[in-house]
């Protein structure tokens, strides 16, 4: 399973005349073992103690390559950090973000695609992807704030 993605990455690198290094392999393996989103620093931390030491700079550089090769997706959820997630068994989804505890909840609502196409047709824009974030109060924080 992960091997398929490794192969895809290898192919991508080849078409770009880049090399499949052990650092890149270690990063890819780690990413596909994570089944939620993560940021660059999470990844650096999780790679410590693994079979290969990887520097922060290399993590950033490799994340860019993985985004370009469509093996991972990049989001700007909060203010500062970018977060990432791999595409394995993950169809497109959007996010609810709790303003009180910062928890994020994924949701999937295919109708948004129709909506996107309708808007874009009107405005003669060719959509490639979208990002919908709904900010509000999650179930847990609703309970917490009740008397």
Q: Does 20 bind DNA (CB under 7 A)?
A: yes
The residues binding a second copy (CB under 8 A) are 76, 79, 82, 96, 98-99, 105, 107, 109, 111-112, 115-116, 118-120, 122-139, 142
How far apart are CB 68 and DNA at their closest, in Å? Answer: 12
**Rounded Cα gap, residues 98 and 93, in angstroms:** 16
**Rounded Cα gap, residues 51 and 81, in angstroms:** 27
Q: Is residue 130 annotated as involved in ligand binding?
A: yes
Q: What stretches of 31-102 adopt beta strand conformation (E)?
A: 38-39, 72-75, 83-86, 94-98
Q: Which residue has the tokens 């505890």?
A: 101
Annotated binding site: 92, 94, 98, 101, 113, 130, 138, 141
Annotated binding site for Zn(2+): 98, 101, 138, 141
């Amino acid at each position: 399973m992960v091997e398929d993605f490794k192969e895809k990455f290898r192919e991508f690198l080849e078409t770009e005349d880049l090399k499949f290094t052990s650092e890149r392999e270690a990063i890819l393996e780690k990413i596909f073992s994570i089944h939620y989103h993560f940021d660059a620093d999470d990844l650096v931390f999780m790679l410590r103690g693994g079979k290969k030491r990887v520097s922060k700079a290399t993590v950033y550089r490799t994340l860019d390559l993985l985004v370009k090769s469509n093996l991972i997706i990049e989001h700007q959820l909060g203010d500062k950090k970018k977060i990432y997630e791999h595409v394995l068994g993950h169809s497109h989804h959007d996010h609810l973000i709790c303003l009180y505890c910062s928890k994020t909840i994924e949701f999937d609502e295919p109708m948004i695609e129709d909506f996107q196409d309708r808007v874009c047709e009107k405005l003669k824009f060719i959509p490639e992807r979208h990002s919908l974030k709904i900010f509000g109060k999650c179930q847990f924080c609703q309970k917490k704030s009740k008397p």
